[in-house]
C-alpha cells in the first residue's frame, strides 16, 4: 500500500505546495492564510507554519459566544483564544517564547532544486554502496576460544553456584563450567560510506573582507544543503590559503583573516594531497570548490593551472567562484576560462553581491553532476 498510496498523496501534496508557492496559477490562491501549529521541541514552544487554502463557502462569521467546560467564575479569563491559533494577541500565556520553525533542510533543498531547476545528481560508480561492518558488541553462548568473555563467564559461573548452593562466601572460589562460557559475538551493521566529499577552498589573503567571506559562507551553505539532499553522507573539508595552504575546521574557515599574497597553487596542491591520501576518487564523489578574488601571483599561475588540470579528472565537478572585491576583478578567472574552456566539469561564476549568489548556484549545480 505504501508505494501505491505514496504516489497519490504525493501528487496531491505537490500540487498543494505548488499552488501555495504561486508556481501554478490558481484562483484559489487568494484564499491563502498562514496558519500555524504550536508544538513543542524539548522545552521550547515552536511555531510550525502551516499554510492553508480555504475555499470560500457560505458560512457564519465568528461566534460571539461559546460553551466551555471547567471551573471558574464569571469574569475569569480563559487562557486560550477559542478561535484557534494564529491570533497572536489574545493567544498564549505571557512570557512564553515561541521559536519559529522554518522549513526543514530537506524542504529547503527541495525548493532550491525546483526554483533553480536543478537536475538530480547522478552518482557514478560504486561510490554509493552501503557497506557492512561487523561490530563486536554482543554476546553468544558459543564461539571460538579467542573470543571468550572473561568477566561474563565468571559472573555466570558465580550465579550458577549461588543458585545451586555450592558457593561458600568464606572460601570464595568460582569454577566456571562449560555451560557458563560466554563469547563475544558480532552484529553486522550497515555503515554508510561517505558518498560525497566537498572540499571548500578559500582565499583568505588581505583582499578578502568580511562581506566577501559572508558571500562565501552563504553560497557554501546552499551548496551544502543541496548536496546533503542528494547524497546519504557528505563530508566537508576546508582549506584556507594565502601564500600557503592549510586544512582547518569550519569555524576557522569562516573566521580567519590572514594577510599576505596569494598563491592559489598551494591550495590546489593541498587538495590533491588530500584526495590522494583520504579520498580515492573511485570511492568518493568529489566536489572541490574554490572561492577567491582571483588576484594571484602571476608567476604562480602556471603551477596553479597544472595542479588544477590534475584535480579535474578526479572530481565530479570543480567550481570556481571569483569574488569581485573593491580592488577590481582578479585575473585568475580569465586564465581558467582560457585553459579549460568548454570542460564540462569546470564551472565558473562571479560573485558580486548577494543577488549574484542565485546565478552562481544555478551555474554550479545545474549540471547534474
User: Under the rule (CB under 8 A), what is the footprint of other proteins?
Assistant: 1-6, 8-9, 11-17, 19, 24-28, 31, 37, 39-41, 46, 48, 50, 52-53, 55-61, 63-82, 89-90, 101
Nearer to other proteins, 89 or 151 (CB): 89
List residues bridging with 113 in a β-sheet.
none
Q: Are 192 and 143 in contact (CB under 8 A)?
A: no
Closest approach of other proteins to the CB of residue 64, in Å: 6
Closest approach of other proteins to the CB of residue 40, in Å: 6
Rounded CA-CA distance 189/147 in Å is 19
216 dihedral zone (left: phi>0; alpha: psi -120 to 50; beta) = alpha
Query: Does an H or E element contain 8, and which?
Result: helix 2-21
Closest approach of other proteins to the CB of residue 98, in Å: 13
Nearer to other proteins, 12 or 299 (CB): 12
Closest approach of other proteins to the CB of residue 318, in Å: 38
Closest approach of other proteins to the CB of residue 190, in Å: 20
Q: Are 161 and 167 in contact (CB under 8 A)?
A: yes
Residue 197: φ, ψ to 5°? -125, 130
Nearer to other proteins, 20 or 329 (CB): 20
Edge to edge, the sheet with strand 32-41 lists 32-41, 44-53, 98-100
Closest approach of other proteins to the CB of residue 83, in Å: 9
Nearer to other proteins, 40 or 151 (CB): 40
Rounded CA-CA distance 83/325 in Å is 53
Largest CA distance in the chain: 90
**Parallel, antiparallel, or unpaired: how do β-strands 234-241 and 245-248 relate?**
antiparallel
* The total number of residues written for the chain in this structure: 369
Closest approach of other proteins to the CB of residue 86, in Å: 13
Residue 41: all three cell numbers together: 521541541
Nearer to other proteins, 28 or 218 (CB): 28
Nearer to other proteins, 34 or 276 (CB): 34
Spacing of C-alpha 282 from chain mean position? 23
Nearer to other proteins, 65 or 178 (CB): 65
Rounded to a whole number, what is the distance in angstroms from the first to the last CA of the chain?
34
Amino acid at each position: 500500500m505504501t508505494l501505491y498510496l505514496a504516489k497519490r498523496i504525493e501528487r496531491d501534496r505537490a500540487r498543494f505546495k505548488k499552488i501555495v508557492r504561486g508556481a501554478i496559477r490558481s484562483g484559489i490562491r487568494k484564499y491563502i492564510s498562514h496558519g500555524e501549529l504550536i508544538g513543542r521541541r524539548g522545552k521550547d514552544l515552536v511555531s510550525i507554519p502551516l499554510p492553508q487554502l480555504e475555499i470560500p463557502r457560505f458560512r457564519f462569521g465568528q461566534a460571539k459566544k461559546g460553551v466551555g467546560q471547567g471551573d471558574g467564575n464569571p469574569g475569569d479569563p480563559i487562557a486560550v483564544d477559542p478561535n484557534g491559533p494564529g491570533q497572536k494577541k489574545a493567544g498564549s500565556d505571557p512570557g512564553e517564547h515561541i521559536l519559529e520553525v522554518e522549513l526543514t533542510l530537506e524542504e529547503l533543498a527541495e525548493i532550491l532544486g525546483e526554483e533553480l531547476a536543478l537536475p538530480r545528481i547522478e552518482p557514478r560508480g560504486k561510490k554509493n554502496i552501503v557497506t557492512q561492518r561487523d561490530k563486536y558488541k554482543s554476546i553468544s553462548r558459543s564461539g571460538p576460544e579467542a573470543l571468550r568473555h572473561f568477566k561474563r563467564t565468571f559472573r555466570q559461573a558465580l550465579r550458577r553456584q549461588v543458585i545451586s548452593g555450592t558457593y561458600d562466601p568464606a572460601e570464595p572460589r568460582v569454577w566456571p563450567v562449560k555451560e557458563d562460557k560466554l563469547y563475544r559475538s558480532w552484529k553486522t551493521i550497515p555503515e554508510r560510506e561517505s558518498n560525497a566529499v566537498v572540499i571548500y577552498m578559500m582565499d583568505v589573503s588581505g583582499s578578502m573582507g568580511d562581506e566577501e567571506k559572508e558571500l562565501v559562507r552563504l553560497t557554501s551553505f546552499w551548496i551544502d544543503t543541496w548536496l546533503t539532499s542528494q547524497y546519504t553522507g557528505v563530508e566537508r573539508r576546508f582549506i584556507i590559503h594565502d601564500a600557503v595552504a592549510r586544512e582547518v575546521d569550519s569555524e576557522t574557515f569562516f573566521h580567519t583573516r590572514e594577510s599576505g599574497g596569494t598563491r592559489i597553487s598551494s591550495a590546489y596542491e593541498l587538495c590533491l594531497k588530500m584526495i590522494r591520501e583520504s579520498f580515492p576518487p573511485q570511492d568518493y564523489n568529489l566536489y572541490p570548490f574554490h572561492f577567491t578574488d582571483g588576484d594571484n601571483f602571476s608567476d604562480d599561475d602556471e603551477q596553479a593551472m597544472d595542479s588544477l588540470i590534475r584535480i579535474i579528472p578526479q572530481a565530479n565537478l570543480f567550481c570556481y567562484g571569483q569574488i569581485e572585491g573593491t580592488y577590481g576583478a582578479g585575473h585568475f578567472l580569465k586564465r581558467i576560462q582560457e585553459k579549460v574552456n568548454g570542460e564540462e566539469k569546470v564551472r565558473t561564476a562571479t560573485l558580486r553581491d548577494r543577488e549574484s549568489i542565485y546565478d552562481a548556484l544555478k551555474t554550479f549545480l545545474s549540471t547534474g553532476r
